[in-house]
Amino acid sequence: MAHFSGHQPTMEVPADFKNLFTNGGLGGDDDDSNNNNNNDNNDQENRTNNNNDNEEHEHSCWVFGYGSLCWLPGFTFSKCITGYIRGYVRRFWQGNVTHRGTEQQPGIVATLVEDKEGITWGCAYKLTGETALEYLKERECTLGGYATLETKFYPRIAPHDTPFGGEAVEVLLYIATPANIHWMGEAPLPKIAQLIATSRGPSGHNAEYLLRLALFMHEELDCAWDQHLFELERLVLQELYRMNIPVSAVMGRNPERIRRDSHANLHRPPSFEFTSRIQSTKLRCLNI
């Protein structure tokens, strides 16, 4: 297990250093044309999967992502919708030796902890067939030590063309518990941040996991606030700066962009642009 040193004095991260992460194109040489191609491919994939939805309806399900699944799913899906679940809060309490750490120095990744008043924001993926579920079982359960549960997911924007229709729907959820051998549990945030800033595994640097998750929240769910995640983001950036490690050095390659909430254009705000085409009608006044 990693050894934690004493609490480090508070140190502000220079604005230009943080801007490298929030505004820069980190970790990859993908240009706009590549990103556009990724979007085109994603759109084509979504259309293909949508055509097969009716044929494979009995094999489809929804999976909720709240950690690396938010920005690096690694499987084929037909829809991705942002939203939240209730009764849980996100915490970096789960050790990891297969993706973001090693047996000699475990990394630490997100899990969920029950909280009656808690809300966790993330995204739900619609899966069809068994391939994605088998992949997730290997990634999350066999290698990650997570258990599978079911819970209700509430979409940020209720789509017209899915089972949501403004209502919650059942989703699969992968969650770590104190029973697994990689469980680290609660610790002071500066200690967790120090471990994240110094750990690396086969999938890349531990800091990338946290920073890309925070970036997903900032870009896709700026209406939501996650105190635990955002404070760790600040502390990890501070720790990287203290060690003179450029943020770009820990980010790896930029993942493909994910087309989320593609149904959002169906929810237009009230508009009066067509009122001039409507025949005028006289209203009768009522004496009430």
Answer yes or no: are the C-beta atoms of 62 and 166 closer than 8 Å: no
Structural domains present in the chain: 62-249 (3.10.490.10)
Positions annotated as catalytic residues are 140
pLDDT of residue 51: 44
Please determine, for residue 284, whether its predicted confidence score (pLDDT) is greater than 70. no
d(C-alpha 29, C-alpha 24), whole Å: 11
Please determine, for residue 140, whether its predicted confidence score (pLDDT) is greater than 80. yes
Q: Which residue has the tokens 């040489």?
A: 29
SS3 label, residue 286:
coil
Region 49-67 average pLDDT: 65
pLDDT in tens, 214-234: 999 999 998 899 999 999 999
The dihedral built from the CA positions of residue 243, 201, 182 and 66, taken in this order, carries a sign that is: positive
pLDDT in tens, 182-212: 999 999 999 999 999 999 999 999 999 999 9
Answer yes or no: are the C-beta atoms of 205 and 252 closer than 8 Å: yes
If you average pLDDT over every residue of the chain, what do you get?
A: 76
d(C-alpha 214, C-alpha 111), whole Å: 15
pLDDT in tens, 126-138: 987 778 888 888 8
pLDDT of residue 9: 40
d(C-alpha 149, C-alpha 145), whole Å: 13
Q: pTM for this structure?
A: 0.71
Please determine, for residue 95, whether its predicted confidence score (pLDDT) is greater than 60. yes
Region 259-280 average pLDDT: 48
